[in-house]
Structure 1
């Protein structure tokens, strides 16, 4: 490769150790991958249970395990529309699908195609069609324009190439990219050629090629930047084959890729804009791995490997040519660089290539430069904001758990019969599914059982103020969905039917089992940014499998309007939080605002306060009130703090402390100005005070 100075071995080993500390090690990489594979399985099952023919894939750095806590990589999701199929020739036409014929000729750039609309009842072209996203070409063929993706762009979303991006809010909030794709019936010709060309090479191996052949190809809605007809073009995507290649990398190759991204983010941005994408870095890495023997890629040689990757990237910039690893004709740099930008990038890259690793000391991402200097005894260890290895592991795995676990609360319905149908569907998936599908179903079903039981209980209470054995059976089946929320629903039901003694026992058991230093409150009602995670939670989540999470997470407690009879009247106000004007300020992810939703721990203490009041146990009642105020003040990871403040305010009113109650409601409005029941409480409290 290059002549290797003697000190490279020492720097490489220390650099590798620093990356281990940050969380770039085989354990965390594999945990990330398993987590996201389970996540995409759960999302797909949820979609299909809701009647949508969509398969979801988690792609990119997060799912590959090729990121760190402070690289802030995007969350990439590919939504594959299973009701659509893209065919290469007429023999592939499939009944019952929306068929599009792929067109590739001398007018389409390499790696791109056009899509011709076909009839759904026969393998024949559509001859007459109208619409903003449909147009005919010079040969009279009806083509689908990629502008159809624009119809998916709503409030809070932004079109970015083939994806619809959910914008981050705040410096530590990761953006989410959703790519909408159509699957190909078979591999198109240009990527298919790669399958045969690579069979004689040592990397990718024959086994990897065989697996790649079994994966789907997609088309995604974006045209070439260098094309005059970009709106008619769709880009070929071999994302699943690329994921196969990434999953085959050893830890040194993964570390090289992460270092490349850190270097680019630190040194190669021009006017806050990145002209070299992480996908280009990945492509360069693929070419380097294919061109060098496997014995080169080892930890004691990581600095040399990194220099070779940077040298290769420099050549790509010099020639403005970075060929896609699978679709070689597709130049990833085509039309991306102006002469001025190219010159600036080459000057910076020249400095990096010749720096002999010195540039690593300037990387502040995850304090890599400072950590490396400490490892090399160049500076004394400092004490500011440098996480230790176990803390880094906690941060990495906990971030994964937020993305993987929280969305299981998304399945919800106001009708017990509909929920029952979903449980039956999940049971079928469980019986016929693979290991991931079985795990997903085991996590999903208990939550649905709790919701079914609560809906039935609400109907029971409305009719005869009791709870039927059927409702209790369903609720019992869901008690272990997480550490608290399902049991709190049971306690809430018992409170609403006037069974205070049993309510107190249930709440006492929940509090006894709720280990505050370990259990993490989790909310996915909206894009709530979790500022930190408990070290105990991170340690246990990294040590145990995903099914152990139900003992260390506490979801928020959600009641639909059809569950209103299971909700104390103080919390029922949350179902009516919105005025007509407020409704105009809701976004797409705000469906939860029609429900009564509260974080588990505040609801535990609120129910204790009300229950002990009913039982005339004033000392315990005051203790619960103190704990409710304490958790609102001290727990940063509350997704519904404004609701907790509204509950505290009503407790203050019961204590005949209207001034304190009004202060709670004002604080609540400070957190959420619109769609907040605090407005109702302020009016009611003032009216009661005056009267």
Structure 2
């Protein structure tokens, strides 16, 4: 271990510089936090908009800003069922909700509880088991089993403790979802924490007041040392912990990031989770509480790191890591064997005693190499990403995540418009505007990103109705369609062009398409679609640079969302695309993918739809050369654009163009290629039958 004070200070400053360069700096940390909070806000606005009594929270390293590109942190999401209510006192019982009495007795592990089901009409225990997710204990209490979460598992998801894990595609984060039930009051077992005061007077009274007002959650998992693992629920103070982490200074954040890198590189080899990052976070919080705040400065980062490692070593030796807020809850209880304990203790000691070598050998984000350069131990010619490029990469990832979240939420909104009348849809849109008027900055930012898609959809539904009545677009529809034009580069403009095409106003439609095509190629545009779980993106250096220079509002200028038409918009859809609304046979519905809620919509990628509309409009205008150019662009896009998410739809509309070109064999090839893309829920089957039937009839 380094002994010279000057050397320790120099090493601390060098470590701080390295971490600054890889994105652990105030600017990047704040951008990460804002992006996750914005995504959380958008999700919850959509839930409120569609009258779903559910709230999602973004937790973990990404929402805290305590990560790097190389750490590849998961996206941690906690979902709370607002129809459920946990009470610690009978006065907290709420009529009409599913109430549970929180029970902590001699049978529950510290930090865990049982949930006793109560009646919904009066504050009394329920006496009849309602379903297989409940059980009666020896005292006659009806308790909720934590295994009920298993019925929430969807395709590709696996349960790990309280969370449901979904592995991300290459280049994208894995996701951990935790379903929870909230209690509005502070846990009685943690009441002492609200009055506890550390050496550094941290956490502050303001943080403690916030904690007391947020309550807590229970999540579906039992202790590893419990006698009743299926009945216990873990008490989670996630929102308080998020508050604490977002109030750390940059040195404390860097210390935590280093702890996670050490954990991943040396203490948890081959993805074995013997010590969790949450344990490291807990150790850090205890260390901050028990030291003067002046210690946590950049020139003391190395000493703070070693202090945390010594505390972690003590926890392993004693097999006890006390939860920061509920100290009776030992996070290491039953966590590892005696052999594992010995190995972990040895590895931590080895790191502390050989810190020079170990720090220089951290491969994550090239930390070791970068530190060697700072210490003048190797030449500066080592090839690694400069800090500006790392910042641009981080911002690009954040903006792509925000954009895909917008796409998901728009799809979620469209699902709820099914079979709704105009009045209800107008109420949805009107409710959305209230989030822009409540003075909340995040709500305002979320509104600016979400509202144009909803405005366009509402305008298109109104237009479809008026077209069906008199083949004209009502002024009210045009107002809403115009209000949504800046949703992104193309999707809303293409809808407006499709509306004009459907009424025969080819000149206006052509003008919009020409402008949209110019916009598409004015910036490095990224196609966005969340209709499938798999997401393929192809970004350019110019796209990444723009992300690093601008705010999240640039999403509107550098993304092209897929174009979605629901049944209520059918009169605004070219008849070639209307077929897509009827793609599913009875057999398809039985075997269909339940996640693909757009099966009875017409959905197409922006660029193929743009060229298809150009082809149709130039055909009507008898501009044959332009028509053939548009057809050629449609063909090239399908052949070369690897980002297309609805390639089968693009092939289907191309096949119909080929039929109109009197090239039936080429059309048949398009439909067959479409079926290779998607064997089920594909209207290509109908197109093939129609084509062959027509050929037979002509003979």
Task: Quickly name the TM-score band, shorter chain normalised.
Answer: over 0.9
1:568 corresponds to which residue? 574
Contact 2:200 2:288 in 1 (8 A): no
Q: CA deviation digits over 1:32-80, x for unaligned, max 9?
A: 2122222222211211221211222111111111122232222112122
2:363 corresponds to which residue? 364
CA distance 1:191–1:376, shift in 2 (3 Å)? same
Superposition deviation, residue 537 in structure 1: 3.7
Superposition deviation, residue 328 in structure 1: 0.6
Contact 1:398 1:533 in 2 (8 A): no
1:229 corresponds to which residue? 228
2:91 corresponds to which residue? 91
Superposition deviation, residue 235 in structure 1: 0.9
TM-score, with normalisation over the residues of structure 1?
Answer: 0.92
Secondary structure at the residue paired with 2:129? coil
Secondary structure at the residue paired with 1:438? helix
Q: Work out the CA distance in 1 between the residues paired with 2:241 and 2:615.
A: 56
CA distance 1:576–1:367, shift in 2 (3 Å)? farther
Structure 2 residue 511 is matched with structure 1 residue 505: yes
2:318 corresponds to which residue? 319
Q: CA deviation digits over 1:116-169, x for unaligned, max 9?
A: 22222222222233421222222222222222222222333322222223x225
1:122 corresponds to which residue? 122
Superposition deviation, residue 379 in structure 1: 4.4
Superposition deviation, residue 103 in structure 1: 1.1
2:51 corresponds to which residue? 51
Superposition deviation, residue 21 in structure 1: 3.1
Contact 2:199 2:292 in 1 (8 A): no
2:73 corresponds to which residue? 73
CA distance 1:516–1:601, shift in 2 (3 Å)? farther
Q: Work out the CA distance in 2 between the residues paired with 1:52 and 1:80.
A: 11
1:34 corresponds to which residue? 34
Contact 1:642 1:672 in 2 (8 A): yes
Secondary structure at the residue paired with 2:355? coil
CA distance 1:8–1:664, shift in 2 (3 Å)? farther
Picking from 468, 486, 490, the partner of 2:492 is 486
Superposition deviation, residue 501 in structure 1: 1.2
Q: Work out the CA distance in 1 between the residues paired with 2:466 and 2:593.
A: 34
Q: Work out the CA distance in 2 between the residues paired with 1:199 and 1:285.
A: 13
Gaps of 5+ in 1: none
CA distance 1:560–1:381, shift in 2 (3 Å)? farther
Picking from 585, 588, 599, the partner of 1:593 is 599
Superposition deviation, residue 382 in structure 1: 6.5
Structure 2 residue 210 is matched with structure 1 residue 211: yes
CA distance 1:199–1:290, shift in 2 (3 Å)? closer
CA distance 1:572–1:13, shift in 2 (3 Å)? farther
1:139 corresponds to which residue? 139
Contact 1:72 1:172 in 2 (8 A): no
The farther-off stretch of 34-43 and 200-209 is 200-209
1:302 corresponds to which residue? 301
Picking from 602, 608, 632, the partner of 1:602 is 608
Aligned-residue RMSD, C-alpha:
2.7
Q: Work out the CA distance in 1 between the residues paired with 2:669 and 2:654.
A: 10
Q: CA deviation digits over 1:246-285, x for unaligned, max 9?
A: 0011122212222222232233335542222121121121
Q: Work out the CA distance in 1 between the residues paired with 2:453 and 2:65.
A: 29
Q: Work out the CA distance in 2 between the residues paired with 1:4 and 1:107.
A: 52
* 1:257-272 matches, cutoff 5 A: 257-272=256-271
Q: CA deviation digits over 1:528-574, x for unaligned, max 9?
A: 32444344444444444334432332221101123222122332232
Aligned residue pair count: 689
Contact 1:558 1:595 in 2 (8 A): yes
CA distance 1:682–1:14, shift in 2 (3 Å)? farther
Q: CA deviation digits over 1:88-108, x for unaligned, max 9?
A: 122322334322111112221
The farther-off stretch of 303-312 and 313-322 is 303-312
2:339 corresponds to which residue? 340
Contact 2:488 2:558 in 1 (8 A): yes
Structure 2 residue 398 is matched with structure 1 residue 400: yes
2:644 corresponds to which residue? 638
Q: Work out the CA distance in 2 between the residues paired with 1:135 and 1:23.
A: 50
Q: CA deviation digits over 1:563-600, x for unaligned, max 9?
A: 22212233223223334443344333210222111222
Q: Work out the CA distance in 2 between the residues paired with 1:300 and 1:663.
A: 68
Contact 1:199 1:205 in 2 (8 A): no
The farther-off stretch of 406-415 and 643-652 is 643-652
Secondary structure at the residue paired with 1:109? coil
2:413 corresponds to which residue? 411
Secondary structure at the residue paired with 1:182? strand
1:328 corresponds to which residue? 327
Superposition deviation, residue 186 in structure 1: 1.2
Secondary structure at the residue paired with 1:249? coil
Superposition deviation, residue 9 in structure 1: 4.0
CA distance 1:659–1:276, shift in 2 (3 Å)? farther
2:238 corresponds to which residue? 239
Picking from 502, 508, 524, the partner of 1:496 is 502
1:157 corresponds to which residue? 157
The farther-off stretch of 504-513 and 78-87 is 78-87
1:351 corresponds to which residue? 350
Q: Work out the CA distance in 2 between the residues paired with 1:675 and 1:351.
A: 59
The farther-off stretch of 388-397 and 652-661 is 652-661
Contact 2:319 2:332 in 1 (8 A): yes
Contact 1:2 1:304 in 2 (8 A): no
The farther-off stretch of 666-675 and 24-33 is 666-675
CA distance 1:679–1:383, shift in 2 (3 Å)? farther
Contact 2:198 2:289 in 1 (8 A): no
Contact 2:200 2:290 in 1 (8 A): no
* 1:622-661 matches, cutoff 5 A: 622-657=628-663, 661=667
Q: Work out the CA distance in 2 between the residues paired with 1:345 and 1:562.
A: 61
Secondary structure at the residue paired with 2:218? strand
CA distance 1:6–1:432, shift in 2 (3 Å)? closer
1:612 corresponds to which residue? 618
Q: CA deviation digits over 1:274-326, x for unaligned, max 9?
A: 22212112112112222233233223333333233223222222221111111
The farther-off stretch of 489-498 and 140-149 is 140-149
Q: Work out the CA distance in 2 between the residues paired with 1:364 and 1:657.
A: 58
